[in-house]
Amino acid sequence: PVLVVDFGAQYAQLIARRVREADVYSEVVPHTMPVAEILARRPLAIILSGGPSSVYEPGAPRLDPALLEAGVPVLGLCYGFQSMAAALDGTVAPTGVREYGATRLEAVDAASQLLADQDVEQNGWRSHGDSVTAAPEGFQVVATSAGSPVAAFEHPEKRLYGVQWHPEVGHSDRGQEVLENFLYRGAGIDPTWTTGNVIEEQVERIREQVGEGTAICALSGGVDSAVAAALVQRAIGDRLTCVYVNHGLMRQDESAQIEKAFGESTGGAKLVVVDAEDQFLQALAGVTDPEQKRKIIGREFIRTFERAQAEILRERGLVEDEAGGGTHTTSEDATAFLVQGTLYPDVVESGGGEGAANIKSHHNVGGLPEDLSFELVEPLRTLFKDEVRAVGSELGLPDEIVWRQPFPGPGLGIRIIGEVTRERLDVLRRADAIARAELTAAGLDREIWQCPVVLLADVRSVGVQGDGRTYGHPIVLRPVTSDDAMTADWAKVPYEVLGRISTRITNEVPEINRVVLDVTSKPPGTIEWE
């Protein structure tokens, strides 16, 4: 892989995505990873990300010069560029000005490998307060700008490169070309990482992992689990059984739609539907803490799968009931594999990546019980959402699955602020159905990443509905735009559409007498309220 060393930038994942867009596989590692460990992963190249610190600040993350002496091509971006300069005895100094946004590059060296075929004048997007004032010995300065006497440098023999700006950010002119020049020319990497290859590679890995065993897949109806199932189906055929658990936390008519779409989506894999509404609602009774809800829902999911799996194995004659009520395995093939559609951002956000803070226990990662008796198969663990969609299309899944907006595993359970009850779920479902119908009618489905509708079940306010005073609940609309759910902005849904949603909900759902709009970006607010 190409490893992106994360110096605490919000851009590290973005860099990895851009590298993958250049058809080269890339992963993010923390700057605290020792050089030996980084090299042990045999990176084809290394990219040092930007970061919020100043290189000479006490406690600023340091670049171990050994990383630059291993013969692996390195590209430093912004802070990464400055830390390269500092590690190699160049000079980094505060410029006194913090530059944000676009800066024009002035002189670009036509002979540069990194900036080959780039115009002399172009905008590079940047945010920094320090500048490299002298390049390390042996390096050529290949670009300058008003704020930076050394805006880019390179040492083609040592295959070390750096730029002061952020070529990974969408608003950098031709930034992708800078990355590609580094990858293809500087590091000599062939762009061979394509969707087709991902499928082949994953199918092979799944075959290796599962062997002659059987697997069970938790189908949520979302694109992730459907693509994961389709990959496993391709690898092991009918030894895969998909299980759809109706936990009673789904939206209106959703379960029926999923059952219907399933037939088309996973090439004939077997589907078992388990109705577990009572079980989930009982387990959630009296619980209001978001993390506890997530853990309970995750736990009940697994328990339900375990029961379904035992059933499936029994049907296949791989286990027999014992006199005492337990079961025993009759074949070595009874290893139970559980397929999950865990994505790369889930892994990073649940702290399962490397050193990232735990923000929420996504039920498909952090919420798993410790006594889990399955071995996990997670063929999407290294992929971003857009890549999963590409894999899904390539596998022939229908658009209605591939382009389905994300819906969290814990479902409406984390969209009721307060205790989850059947009555509250019913209220939320009716309001949510109206919001979704109106957004779809307005043609906003692709523009909006998703629009959680949240019931503030413990909040009441006074209203007038029909003939009299009401004391009802508010509903929150949370429409957001996003590329990958790591960051998001509140969506500027037209007022007319918001107005229609509000009027319809307060008319058609008597328990709701107020509709409010969430205008918070992520960060600081997460997309879901819990």
Contact set with ligand XMP (CB under 6 A): 294, 360, 362-364, 406, 408-410, 450, 485, 522, 526-528
Which C-beta is closer to ligand XMP: that of 292 or that of 331?
Answer: 292
Single out the catalytic residue among 78, 217, 242, 451: 78
521 is in an annotated binding site: no
Beta bridge partners of 104: 123
Which C-beta is closer to ligand XMP: that of 187 or that of 276?
Answer: 276
Report how far residue 251's alpha carbon sits from residue 460's, in angstroms, rounded to the nearest whole number.
23
Residue 78 is among the residues annotated as catalytic for this protein: yes
Which C-beta is closer to ligand XMP: that of 53 or that of 450?
Answer: 450
Which C-beta is closer to ligand XMP: that of 124 or that of 221?
Answer: 221
**CA-CA distances (angstroms) from residue 24 to 167, 258, 513?**
16, 34, 52
**CA-CA distances (angstroms) from residue 460 to 10, 288, 456, 474, 475?**
38, 17, 8, 7, 10
Minimum CB distance to ligand XMP, residue 128 (Å) = 28
The token pair at 475 is 């509903």
Minimum CB distance to ligand XMP, residue 408 (Å) = 3
Minimum CB distance to ligand XMP, residue 255 (Å) = 17
Task: Please name which of 450, 454, 417 lies closest in space to residue 436, comparing C-alpha atoms.
Answer: 450
Single out the catalytic residue among 155, 166, 247, 363: 166
Please identify which residue in the block is written with the tokens 């560029």. 81
226 is in an annotated binding site: yes
Report how far residue 108's alpha carbon sits from residue 78's, in angstroms, rounded to the nearest whole number.
17
Single out the catalytic residue among 99, 154, 168, 528: 168
Task: Please name which of 74, 70, 58, 57 lies closest in space to residue 2, comparing C-alpha atoms.
Answer: 74
DSSP letter assigned to residue 237: G
Minimum CB distance to ligand XMP, residue 520 (Å) = 11
Minimum CB distance to ligand XMP, residue 512 (Å) = 21
143 is in an annotated binding site: no
221 is in an annotated binding site: yes
Minimum CB distance to ligand XMP, residue 527 (Å) = 3
350 is in an annotated binding site: no
Report how far residue 339's alpha carbon sits from residue 266's, in angstroms, rounded to the nearest whole number.
13
8 A C-beta contact, residue 151 and residue 105: yes
109 is in an annotated binding site: no
225 is in an annotated binding site: yes
Which C-beta is closer to ligand XMP: that of 294 or that of 514?
Answer: 294
Residue 166 is among the residues annotated as catalytic for this protein: yes
φ, ψ at 264 (rounded to 5°) = -75, -20
User: In sequence order, what are the residues at sequence separation of 6 or more whose Cβ sits closer than 8 angstroms to the Cβ of residue 166?
Assistant: 11, 50, 77, 78, 124, 125, 126, 127, 172, 175
Which C-beta is closer to ligand XMP: that of 382 or that of 513?
Answer: 382
Known binding site for ATP: residues?
Answer: 220-226
- What is the set of active-site residues? 78, 166, 168
Residues of each annotated binding site: 220-226
